[in-house]
Amino acid sequence: MTNWTKVCAASDVPENELRKYDIGDIEVVVANYGGGFRVFPPFCPHMFEPLAVSGMLKDNVLTCGKHLWQWDLATGEKHGLSEKDMLFYDCKEDGGEIHADLSEQLTYDWEEEDELDDDDFFS
């Protein structure tokens, strides 16, 4: 059964913007991609990069500013350089509010080889 939790007002997240929220013990980012909203864990699937800080959203595409991996938020699919899928919470807009099913926290498994710093990545 879906367990809907209010995250924020839809008007709190302008189009093409990301906002981070702490809902109990769960941190989430809400993205308004124009055609709708997505709710997802706050870190990039590649490394431990906070997407609410370094993520850029334009034309449905979310780009992580660290290594430029991308995802299409309209379809939820990988885009461009991205090698990993994003995880999304089920969400809905209801009565001007964004609700998400936060009954199970979503997290990524980061691989050890992902511990490279920027100097390694660009060499």
Nearer to ligand FES, 93 or 111 (CB): 111
Contact between residue 102 and residue 23 where contact means Cβ atoms under 8 Å apart: yes
- Pick the closest to residue 74 from 56, 95, 60, 57 (CA basis): 60
Nearer to ligand FES, 95 or 122 (CB): 122
Nearer to ligand FES, 28 or 51 (CB): 51
According to CB under 6 A, which one of 37, 40, 69, 89 is a site residue for ligand FES?
69
- Which listed range, 10-18, 63-71, 93-101, 103-111, lies at the site for ligand FES (CB under 6 A)? 63-71
Two tokens at 12?
């709190």
Q: What are residue 82's phi and psi, to 5 degrees?
A: -60, 140
- To ligand FES, the closest distance from the beta carbon of 28 in angstroms equals 17
Q: How far apart are CA 1 and CA 71, in angstroms?
A: 28
According to CB under 6 A, which one of 47, 57, 91, 102 is a site residue for ligand FES?
47
Neighbouring residues of 120: CB distance < 8 A, sequence distance ≥ 6: none
**Residue ranges binding ligand FES (CB under 6 A):** 44, 46-47, 49, 64, 66-67, 69
